[in-house]
Amino acid sequence: MYISITKTTHPGTLLPSDQLGFGIHYTDHMFIMDYSDEKGWYDPRIVPFQNISLSPAACVFHYGAEVFEGLKAYRRPDGEVQLFRPWDNMERMKNSAIRLGLPVVPPEDALEAVKALVKVDERWVPSDPGTSLYIRPFLYGTDAKLGLHGVHTAQFIIILSPVGSYFDNGMEPVKIIVETEDVRAIRGGTGEAKCGGNYGASNRAGERAFANGYSQVLWLDGVEHKYVEEGGGMNVVFKINGRIITPMLTGSILPGVTRRSCLQLFEDWGMPVEERLISVDELFEAAANGTLEEAMCVGTAAVICPIGELTYEGKAYTINNFQTGPLAQKLYDTLTGIQWGTQPDPHGWTCKV
Sign of the C-alpha dihedral, residues 147, 149, 150, 153?
negative
d(CA 238, CA 328): 10
* Footprint (CB under 8 A) of a copy of itself, residues 85-124: 98-101
Among 187, 226, 276, 315, binds a copy of itself (CB under 8 A): 187
* Backbone torsions φ then ψ of 97, nearest 5 degrees: -60, -40
- Segment near a copy of itself (CB under 8 A), from 81-89, 118-126, 201-209, 333-341? 201-209
Give the footprint of a copy of itself on residues 310-339 (CB under 8 A): none
Check binding of 26 to a copy of itself (CB under 8 A). yes
Residues within window 293-312 making contact with a copy of itself, judged by CB under 8 A: 301
Beta bridge partners of 176: 216, 310
A 10 A CB-CB count for 181 gives 8
d(CA 177, CA 219): 9
Q: How far is the CB of 316 from a copy of itself (least distance, A)?
A: 22
Total number of residues binding a copy of itself (CB under 8 A)?
73
Residue 138 or 340 having the CB closest to a copy of itself: 138
Indicate the residue among 190 and 320 with the shorter CB distance to a copy of itself: 190
Choose among 269, 35, 228, 25: nearest CA to 139. 35
| H/E element, 218 | strand 216-220
Cα 234 to Cα 214: distance, rounded to the nearest angstrom: 15
Provide the minimum distance between the beta carbon of 330 and a copy of itself in the complex, in angstroms, as a whole number: 27
Q: Which of 68, 87, 167, 266 binds a copy of itself (CB under 8 A)?
A: 68
End-to-end, the C-alpha distance of the chain in Å comes to: 16
Among 17, 45, 49, 277, binds a copy of itself (CB under 8 A): 49
Q: Please, which residues bridge with residue 220 across strands?
A: 228
| Residue with Cβ nearer a copy of itself (26 or 87) | 26
Q: Is 60 in the site for a copy of itself (CB under 8 A)?
A: yes
Distance CA 337, CA 272 (A): 22
Q: Which is nearer to a copy of itself, 40 or 326 (CB)?
A: 40
Helices 326-339 and 257-268: crossing angle in degrees, nearest 10, is 110
61 binds a copy of itself (CB under 8 A): yes
Q: Is 22 in the site for a copy of itself (CB under 8 A)?
A: yes
Q: How far is the CB of 140 from a copy of itself (least distance, A)?
A: 6
Instruction: Tell which positions 226-255 bind a copy of itself, by CB under 8 A.
Output: 232-233
Residue 247 amino acid letter: P
CB of 341 to a copy of itself, least distance (A): 24
> What is residue 292's three-state secondary structure?
strand
**Spatial distance between the Cα atoms of 10 and 161, rounded to a whole number of angstroms:** 17
Binding mask 71-90 for a copy of itself (x = CB under 8 A): --------------------
For residue 116, give the H/E element and its range. helix 107-120
**Closest separation between CB of residue 215 and a copy of itself, Å?**
10
**Is residue 65 near a copy of itself by the rule CB under 8 A?**
yes
Closest separation in Å from C-beta 145 to a copy of itself: 5
Whole-number Cα distances in Å, 198 to 26, 98, 162, 233 = 24, 16, 25, 10
If binding is defined by CB under 8 A, does position 223 make contact with a copy of itself?
Answer: yes
Binding mask 125-164 for a copy of itself (x = CB under 8 A): ---------x-x-x-x----xxxxxxx-----x-x-x---
Instruction: For residue 45, state whether it binds a copy of itself (rule: CB under 8 A).
Output: no
Exactly one of 1, 14, 24, 288 binds a copy of itself (CB under 8 A); which one? 24
- In angstroms, the Cα distances linking 328 to 88, 197, 264, 337 are 23, 30, 15, 14
